[in-house]
Amino acid sequence: MNFSKSFRNTFLVILLSLIVSACATKKTTTTVEGQMQGDVYTGTDTVKYLADGVPDRVFFATNESILTTKSRDTLRKQANWLRENSSINVVVEGHADERGTREYNLALGERRANAAKDYLITYGISADRISVISYGKERPVDSGSNPLSWSKNRRSVTVKAN
């Protein structure tokens, strides 16, 4: 049930990215060019680093909690860094954009934070070292009301807890 759902969602994301990239090729250069794939943010404007080469955040498509290839790459870097720094614990914050109802977004933020947490666990990080918190749409990093701003806000951020 869950598997087939996530499979379908992945398929949708791929399909959507194909459609959007197809559109993008028709258009001439826009400011969004190179900063979004599908509606997932791929830029680095807001990204901070836990350590040299270890980005602190990953981005999601609208209403989704599926990790993109790039997100998994980022999380593997975080896992490596956490393995090397075994005294450090982290909080994974889950966030949503402003285009959803508050309560659903709280649940969605929690789902996103756990998607990142689960991936870190898969790469050998003990669950005890990772706590999660959802802020829903309450803590945007970009205050604009446009698709690019929203894509920066749909994120999970790994923060040092100690």
Q: Which residues bind other proteins (CB under 8 A)?
A: 1-2, 5, 8-9, 63, 65, 98-104, 106-108, 110-111, 113-115, 118, 133-135, 138-146, 149
Residue 49 or residue 104: which is nearer to other proteins going by CB?
104
Radius of gyration (C-alpha) of the chain in whole angstroms: 16
Quote the CA–CA distance of 69 and 92 in Å, as a whole number.
Answer: 19
* Backbone phi, psi, residue 56, to 5°: -90, -10
Residue 56 or residue 110: which is nearer to other proteins going by CB?
110
The residue count for the chain = 162
Quote the CA–CA distance of 125 and 127 in Å, as a whole number.
Answer: 6
CB of 73 to other proteins, least distance (A): 21
CB of 94 to other proteins, least distance (A): 9
CB of 86 to other proteins, least distance (A): 23
